[in-house]
Amino acid sequence: MTRAQLVLIALIPIAYVLGSIPFGLFVGFWRGIDVRKQGSGNIGATNVGRLLGGRFFALVFTLDLLKGLIPTLAAALILRKSTAAPSMLNDVLWLLVGFAAIAGHMFSVFLRFKGGKGVATSTGAILGVFPYFTAAIAVGILVWLAIFKVTRYVSVASMLGAAAFAVAYVVIGVLCRWPLLGTQLPLLVFSILIVAMIIWKHRGNIARLRAGTEHRIPSRQTAPDQ
């Protein structure tokens, strides 16, 4: 095992702890509220924005995105500075760093393994897997914007945007003749797993959608769920 791979293994638990930091909860405490007990009860940027306003949504969303972006980019830089030959193990460890940050947000060690829905942190981690996921995440963001504009349901936009990202990655891979079932198999598995986790975290929203009680965001707000 190379030195770079050992460093990435050490970075995985660090990424998890970083992802576990509940910035939405801290911002709520800063403003004198417990976001777990108001609004939707979620610690993510949408609930914070609903309770405190758009600027606090932007603050929490950015911080949660960075939780995924920073460790994933750090892992990428470690691999690029390594003199060892590229390998599937390198990609697996790289993706595990990003996955650990996402898992930390969804299942925070500081919140008894509860947490947010992972959209912002997943977006950050995906952006950190450059350039493989860059075009696909752009498609996912565009789909999110279109679905949200039409439905005003953040949960629907988040789930469909996540699904669009994975589909776009596969379509782009086929068109570009990438080895999706070969050396890029870890990337394919990662994209599908993240989408599955995001949809699973939205199971309460799905139940409310079926019951007709899901919250719509008024047209003057444009805060994505996480």
Q: Among all chains, which residue has been given the structure tokens 């925070």?
A: 108
pLDDT of 40: 85
The pLDDT tens digits of the residues spanning 77-122 come to: 999 998 878 899 999 999 999 999 999 999 999 999 999 999 999 9
Cα–Cα distances in angstroms (integers) from residue 10 to residues 24, 64, 67, 94, 109, in the given order = 27, 21, 17, 11, 18
* Distance between CA atoms of residues 160 and 2, nearest Å: 39
In this structure, of 35-44, 110-119, 144-153, 213-222, the range with the lowest mean pLDDT score is 213-222
Mean pLDDT value across the chain: 94
Rounded distance between C-alpha atoms, residue 223 and residue 226, angstroms: 9
The CA radius of gyration of the chain, in Å to the nearest whole number, is 18
Using CB atoms within 10 Å of the CB of residue 201, give its burial: 0 to 12 exposed, 13 to 18 middle, 19+ buried.
Answer: buried
The two most distant CA atoms of the chain are separated, in Å, by 56
Query: pLDDT band at 225, cuts 50/70/90?
Result: low
Of 117, 121, 129, which is closest to residue 196 (Cα–Cα)?
117
Q: What is the pLDDT of residue 222?
A: 46
| Position 220 confidence tier, pLDDT thresholds 50, 70, 90 | low
Residue 224, pLDDT > 60, answer no
| pLDDT > 90: percent of the chain | 88
- Tokens found for residue 223: 């805060």
Could you tell me the residue ranges of all domains in the chain?
A: 3-211
Residue 54 and residue 51: Cα distance in Å, rounded? Answer: 9
Asked if pLDDT for residue 7 goes beyond 50, the answer is yes
Distance from first CA to last CA of the chain, Å, rounded?
36
* Helices 54-81 and 45-52: angle between axes, nearest 10 degrees: 150
Q: Which pLDDT tens digit goes with each residue over 149-177?
A: 999 998 999 999 999 999 999 999 999 99
* Alpha-carbon gap, residue 28 to 10, rounded angstroms: 32
From the list 220, 155, 172, 167, the residue with the least C-alpha distance to 192 is: 167
| Residue 36 vs residues 42, 49, 75, 90, 98: alpha-carbon distances, Å | 6, 13, 32, 38, 26
How many residues does this entry show for the chain? 226
